[in-house]
Amino acid sequence: MHPDLAPRTAACLLFDWDGTLVDSQYANYRAMAGTLATEGVELEQEWFDARTGLSSAEMIHTLVAERGLGLSRPVDTLVADRDAQFLKEAHSVRPLQPVLEVVEAMRHRLPMAVASGGARHVIEATLRHQPFHDAFGTLVTRDDVTHGKPAPDIFLTAARSLGAHPSRCLVYEDSEEGIAAAHAAGMAVIDVRPYTGRTAA
């Protein structure tokens, strides 16, 4: 485990999913771009990469607002199509080694949770293929809260589920929205991007 990723005095570890625990960035982009293409919308990867902390629905709403788009189908239908496209590739998603090493080192030593802005059924389907599939005490997703990241709700819900005070939790994240959510929750946070090969936006 890289020493800068070590949890030190934390009593509980919370991990974002996409881009933190798993390298799903390109698979997620292909799924979203393919879905929006059916609406005649071209999605640039650079735009997508800068907003990975948002849920799929929030990302589509942001795109619509920024570009003044009119969609032929409801957002929840588009999200369902995006998820279906992604799930065809779920078996190919691999863990990010630097964060995997943290999980393996802390397994059975500290309570840990996945705390993600993604959809529960998508994460559960992908998690089954991961070497750490049984390492987490709870999974909290965008489906479980009223407000997604950068609001603190996902992280606070995960901490409650593990019985940990927010001030004793350490968050591993890879997006500006996620880092802001951790700070809003009163939690320490490690930006994993310098260790996983992605640079901070």
> Is-contact 122 67, C-beta < 8 A?
no
φ, ψ dihedrals at 127, nearest 5°? -60, -35
Residues 75 and 110 in one domain: no
Total domains in the chain come to 2
Phi, psi of 30 (to 5 degrees): -60, -40
Q: Which of 34, 57, 90 is the last residue of a domain?
A: 90
Instruction: Tell me which DSSP letter residue 163 carries.
Output: T
Same domain, 70 and 39: yes
Q: According to the model, what pLDDT value does residue 55 have?
A: 87
pTM: 0.85
99 in the same domain as 48: no
Q: What is each CA distance from 93 to 16, 28, 155, in whole angstroms? A: 15, 10, 24
Confidence of residue 201 (pLDDT cuts 50, 70, 90): very low
For the stretch 60-89, pLDDT in tens is 999 999 999 999 999 999 999 999 999 998
- Is residue 201 in a domain? no
The 10s digit of each residue's pLDDT in 158-195 is 999 999 999 999 999 999 999 999 999 999 999 999 99
Please indicate, yes or no, whether residues 185 and 115 belong to a single structural domain of this protein.
Answer: yes
